[in-house]
A = this chain, B = another copy of it.
Amino acid sequence: MHMMKNLPEKFTRGRKTRPVWIGSVKVGGRSPVSVQSMTKTKTEDVAATVKQINELAELGCQIIRIAIPRLSAAQALGVIKKQVRLPIETDIHFNPKLALESIAQGADAIRLNPGNIADPEAIKEIVKQAKKRKIPIRVGLNSGSVTGYINKNKKFKSKAKKWPVWQTMVECALEYCRFLESLKFKDIMVSLKASDVQSTVNAYRLIAQKTDYPLHLGVTAAGPLMDSVVKSSIGIGSLLLDGIGDTIRVSITGPPHDEVRLGYWILEALGLARRGPEIIACPTCARCEVDIIKITEEIKGVLRNPHSEFRDLNLKVAIMGCVVNGPGEATEADIGIAAGQGFAWLFKKGKKIRKIPEAKIVSELLKEIKRI
> Which A residues lie at the B interface, using CB under 8 A?
38-43, 49, 65-69, 73, 91, 93-94, 113, 116, 142-148, 195-198, 201, 220-224, 226-227, 229-231, 233-234, 237-238, 241, 251-254, 256, 259, 262, 265-266, 268-271, 279-288, 292-293, 296-297, 300, 318-320, 322, 324-329, 332
Nearest to A229 among chain B residues (CB) is B229
Q: Are B300 and A224 in contact (CB under 8 A)?
A: yes
Q: Are A326 and B198 in contact (CB under 8 A)?
A: no
Nearest to A317 among chain B residues (CB) is B223
Q: Are B286 and A41 in contact (CB under 8 A)?
A: yes
A233-B229, A253-B296 given as contacts; is B318 within 8 A of A221 (CB)? yes
Q: 27 A-B pairs, CB-CB below 8 angstroms?
A: A39-B285, A40-B284, A41-B286, A67-B285, A91-B285, A94-B324, A143-B329, A144-B324, A144-B326, A144-B327, A195-B332, A197-B269, A221-B283, A221-B320, A221-B325, A223-B281, A226-B229, A227-B269, A227-B279, A229-B229, A229-B233, A230-B262, A230-B265, A234-B238, A252-B283, A253-B282, A254-B293
Nearest to A237 among chain B residues (CB) is B234
The 9 closest A-B pairs by CB, nearest first: A144-B325, A234-B237, A238-B238, A144-B328, A233-B233, A67-B286, A67-B285, A253-B281, A43-B286
A253 to B294, CA, bound (A): 9
Looking at the assembled complex, report how far the CB atom of A24 sits from the nearest CB atom of chain B, in whole angstroms.
23
A285 to B52, CA, bound (A): 12
Q: Are B251 and A241 in contact (CB under 8 A)?
A: no
Tell me which of B73, B145, B332 contacts A328 (CB under 8 A).
B145
Looking at the assembled complex, report how far the CB atom of A217 sits from the nearest CB atom of chain B, in whole angstroms.
13
Identical subunits present? 2
Most buried by B among A222, A227, A254, A326: A227
Q: Are A259 and B283 in contact (CB under 8 A)?
A: yes
A271 to B116, CA, bound (A): 30
Q: Are A230 and B229 in contact (CB under 8 A)?
A: yes
Q: Are A67 and B287 in contact (CB under 8 A)?
A: yes
A229-B230, A229-B233, A230-B265 given as contacts; is B238 within 8 A of A281 (CB)? no
Q: What B residues does A325 contact at CB under 8 A?
A: 142-145, 220-221
Looking at the assembled complex, report how far the CB atom of A338 sits from the nearest CB atom of chain B, in whole angstroms.
9
Tell me which of B197, B262, B270, B282 contacts A221 (CB under 8 A).
B282
Tell me which of B269, B284, B297 contacts A230 (CB under 8 A).
B269
A147-B328, A328-B144 given as contacts; is B233 within 8 A of A237 (CB)? yes
Looking at the assembled complex, report how far the CB atom of A105 sits from the nearest CB atom of chain B, in whole angstroms.
15
Nearest to A279 among chain B residues (CB) is B223
Looking at the assembled complex, report how far the CB atom of A278 sits from the nearest CB atom of chain B, in whole angstroms.
8
Q: What B residues does A251 contact at CB under 8 A?
A: 282-283
A297 to B254, CA, bound (A): 9
Q: What B residues does A237 contact at CB under 8 A?
A: 197, 230, 233-234, 237-238
Looking at the assembled complex, report how far the CB atom of A44 sits from the nearest CB atom of chain B, in whole angstroms.
8
